[in-house]
Structure 1
C-alpha cells in the first residue's frame, strides 16, 4: 500500500484522508520539507566541524572520515528521494531513514562541545617528537602534526594544531602535547608547546 508523501499515512485513494492533499500537492510539500531537512543537516555538519576545531578530539580524523561518509550517504539518499517523489514512487521507508540521519551531525557536534566545555579533568602532558605535518584542504582548513605516538600499538598520532603552530613546528622538533580526558571520556588536545630540551617519554 502506498503512503502519502506529505504525512506518511497509508493512502487508498489519490487524495490523502489524513492531510487532504492530492498527489501533486503532497509531492510539492514533501520536496519542500526535504530541502528544509537537508539544510538542517548541512548546518549540523558545519557545527560539527566548528566544535571539532574548538575542542579537537585526539581521534578527530576518524570522526571526520565517519562524517564524510555520512555526508555523502545522506545527500545521495536525499537526491534519490527527490527522484522517487517526482516519479510518484513509495517513499516512506527511505524517508524515515533520511530523517534518522539528519540530526546525527548535530548530536556529534553536541557531544564534542560538551565533552570539552564541561571537562574538569586535570591536564595530561605528553612529550614526543614531530615526524611530519600536513594540511587538510576544505571549507574549514585544518592542520595536523604527525607525532610519534605515546600509546601502545600505535606508531603515530595526528594532532590538530592551529595554523601558527603548523608553521612553527618542523620535523624532528620535540613537542609537548597537552590534553584533557574529556567530560564524556573523549580525549582532546587543548594546546601544543615546543620543548627545546624535551626528553621523549
Structure 2
C-alpha cells in the first residue's frame, strides 16, 4: 500500500469524480467500482480496510456512495481527503442535475404535458404507500389520535413537518417511559 501522505488529493478527486460520472443512479452499484479503483487498481487500501469502511458507510445515514467516498478519503488523507473525495463523488451528479434543471426551465412548455401526465399516477403511488403505512402503523385509538393531531397541526396550523416529527419522537419516548415497553418489544 502506498504511503497515505503521498496520495495526491487530485488523484482522490479524479477517481471519485470518474466513479460518480459513470454510475448514474449511484447507490450500491458504485461500491464495487469504488473497491476496484481504490483497492485493486491503485492499491491505496487493503481489501480488509475497504470492507471495514464499507460496513461503517452502510450504517451511516445518507447515500452509500458518498459515505464510502467520505470514509475512503478520510482513511487516505484525513480531512483534505474527505473534501477531495466528496467533491469528486458529487461533481458530475451535480453538473447533470443542474443541466437538467436549466434545460427543464428553458423547455418547460415542451415537458409540461409529460409532467402533468405524471401527477395522477404519482398521486396514486403516494396514496398506496400511505395506505400501507396506515395499515402497519395505526393500530389503536391512541395512534389514530396522534395521527389526526399531527395531520391537523401540519395542514391547518402550517407547522413545519420536521418539528411535528420531532414532537412525535418526544411523545414516543415519554409514552414508552409511562407505559413501559410493549409485550412485542420485550425479548
- TM more than 0.5: no
Higher helix fraction (1 or 2): 2
Higher strand fraction (1 or 2): 1
Q: What TM-score results when the alignment is normalised by the length of structure 2?
A: 0.22
Q: What TM-score results when the alignment is normalised by the length of structure 1?
A: 0.21
